[in-house]
Amino acid sequence: MISEVSNARFWSNLMYDYGKLAQRTRGGAMIQRALTDRLKELAGWFPVVSLTGPRQSGKSTLVKSAFPEFAYINLEQPDYREAALTDPVGFLKSQPDHLIIDEAQYVPELFSMIQVLSDARGSVGQYVLTGSQNFLLTKAIQQSLAGRVGRLTLLPFSYPEAHGICDGIDSFMLAGGYPRMYDAGMPRDVFMRSYLDTYVERDVGGLLNVRNLAEFRRMLGILAHSVGGIVNYTSIASDSGVDTRTVKSWMSLLQASYIIFLLPPYYANGRKRLTKSPKLYFYDTGLLCSLLQIEDVRTFALHPKRGEVFENLVISERIKHHLNAGDEPVLYFYRDDAKREVDLLDCTHAAEPQAVEIKAGETYRHQFARHLTAVSDELGIAEDRRCVVYRGEMNYRADGVQVASARDFLLQR
């Protein structure tokens, strides 16, 4: 029997401190990004703070809002970049002691000088570095600034940040979280076309020297249709018309550019033969829906990938949830040789792991809890940490698990 739940521990976590929710939206309102307080905190501990994330996720807006007293330079501007490349020592010495360097990865020669100057001053909160190409920024930091940098990642709006300016879960899932759309009131198809042309193909294609952008774009579409599935590089290569090595190279850069991520399988249970290959997801479901040509809720309801898209939403939101708290997400899926599956195991807080089954329907079914219960029992996951997330509106307890509407689950702290 299904009954209303009053489990205080679980539902107390479904509260969100909207007062802490700064990103400008249409009409001039500001949404303070959930990462703001953590960013300021790290600047009080480290001489240098780095903020990475995809293009157009709001990094520049966030750092300028969080540190209004800092000077700001953007190395995408040709004159700044040329000056920094020509004379990195003189360039940095001519700048104020408190400085934001946007897209810092373009001039890695600056990093050694940042180390010298910050060490000489011996104070915290001197430099804020941002970058949209994580692999380049990370490499420069590891070579010159290891131990001196507090590192954070900013993804597009999370649902808790955007829920006040969108029309619910489905609207957010279809539109995605890129702030520019909300700032300008831009239709998703217009934004995504520009985003793919300007950023994905330029950044990723340019760095990999992709000669045939049609092949690269075709692979992106194939990745979208592979969402939620076990990664098969050979199959992707065959469908894309390129070799497996090329697919792995392109996918690696898409991961480093925060376009896609791979969810690893859970592997700690030695008694079971478990899947060893990861699953593929996109950081932003708006981009995913655009690639799948899902235009509205009706298209979504009829689309063969509707379950995987909704699954992608919940899992990517868990990543944002932990990153926005300054934590490194530790997430898995579970699949064993008995074909038992659980969509998400959240082990970020090892003492309180959570098992989540994700269903795109608006009706709860008793069979949803079957694998969730059995696997959770084996892994020692507490009953109040077992949850079925669905697109319905009711929250209750059934079959020994929590049944949570996606809206409330995503708004949890």
Domain assignment present for 18? no
Q: How many domains does the chain have?
A: 2
In this model, does residue 395 exceed pLDDT 90?
Answer: yes
Q: What is the pLDDT of residue 402?
A: 96
Averaged pLDDT, 232-240: 95
Q: Are residues 174 and 138 in the same domain?
A: no
C-alpha span between 71 and 127 (Å, rounded): 10
Domain final residue pick, 129, 153, 177: 153
Domain membership flag for residue 177: yes
Query: pLDDT class for 169, splitting at 50, 70, 90?
Result: very high
Query: Is 374 among the domain residues?
Result: yes
Q: Is it the case that residue 6 has pLDDT exceeding 60?
A: no
- Asked whether residue 11 carries a pLDDT value surpassing 60, the answer given is no
Residues 370 and 221 reside in one and the same domain: yes
Residue 207 pLDDT greater than 70, yes or no: no
Q: Is residue 270 assigned to a domain?
A: yes
With respect to residue 58, please indicate whether it lies within any of the assigned structural domains: yes
pLDDT of residue 67: 97
Same domain? 270 vs 388 = yes
- How many Cβ atoms sit within 10 Å of the Cβ of residue 276? 10
Residue 12 lies inside a defined structural domain of this protein: no
Determine if the pTM surpasses 0.75: yes
The pLDDT of residue 206 is 64
Q: What is the mean pLDDT of residues 355-361?
A: 97
Would you state the pLDDT for residue 215? 83
Instruction: Output the pLDDT for position 225.
Output: 97
Q: What number is the average pLDDT over the span 118-128?
A: 94
Per-residue pLDDT, averaged over 22-41, amounts to: 75
**What pLDDT, in 10s, does the model give residues 280-315?**
999 999 999 999 999 999 999 999 999 999 999 999
Asked whether residue 16 is domain-assigned, the answer is no
Place of tokens 């829906």: 289
Least confident piece of the model among 44-48, 254-258, 301-305, 402-406: 254-258
Whether residue 162 lies inside any domain: the answer is no
pLDDT (0 to 100) of residue 21: 34
Identify whether residues 149 and 180 lie together within a single domain: no
pLDDT of residue 17: 32
- Are 256 and 133 contacting, i.e. CB atoms less than 8 angstroms apart? yes
Same domain? For 317 and 385 the reply is yes
The predicted structure's pLDDT at residue 239: 93
pLDDT computed for residue 312 by the predictor: 98
The rounded percent of the chain whose pLDDT value lies above 70 is 87
Q: Give the range of the structural domain holding residue 100, as residue numbers without chain letter.
A: 36-153
- Of 124, 153, 182, which marks where a domain is finished? 153
For residue 3, count other CB atoms closer than 10 A to its CB. 8
* Bigger pLDDT: 269 vs 4: 269
- Give the pLDDT mean for 89-93: 93
Q: What is the CATH number of the domain that holds 102?
A: 3.40.50.300
Task: Report pLDDT digits (tens) over 61-88.
Answer: 999 999 999 999 999 999 999 999 999 9
On whether the CB atoms of residues 253 and 208 are closer than 8 A, the answer is: yes
Same-domain check for residues 287 and 360 = yes
Query: Is 381's pLDDT higher than 90?
Result: yes
Question: Are residues 267 and 122 part of one domain?
Answer: no
> Could you tell me if 126 and 256 lie in one domain?
no
Q: Looking at the structure, tell me whether residues 42 and 189 fall in a common domain.
A: no
Q: Given pLDDT bands bounded at 50, 70 and 90, which one contains residue 208?
A: low
Domain boundary among 95, 130, 153: 153
Non-local CB neighbours of 90 within 8 Å, separated by 6+ positions: none
Distance CA 50, CA 139 (A): 12
Position 160 pLDDT exceeds 50: yes
Q: Which of 312, 326, 335 is nearest to 261 (CA)?
A: 312
293 and 399 share a domain? yes
Q: What is the mean pLDDT of residues 131-154?
A: 82
Say yes or no: 365 and 259 in one domain. Answer: yes
pLDDT of residue 19: 30
Write down the mean pLDDT value for the chain.
88
Give me the pLDDT at residue 360, please.
96
Between 93-102, 135-144, 201-210, the lowest mean confidence (pLDDT) is in 201-210
Q: What is the CA radius of gyration of the chain?
A: 22
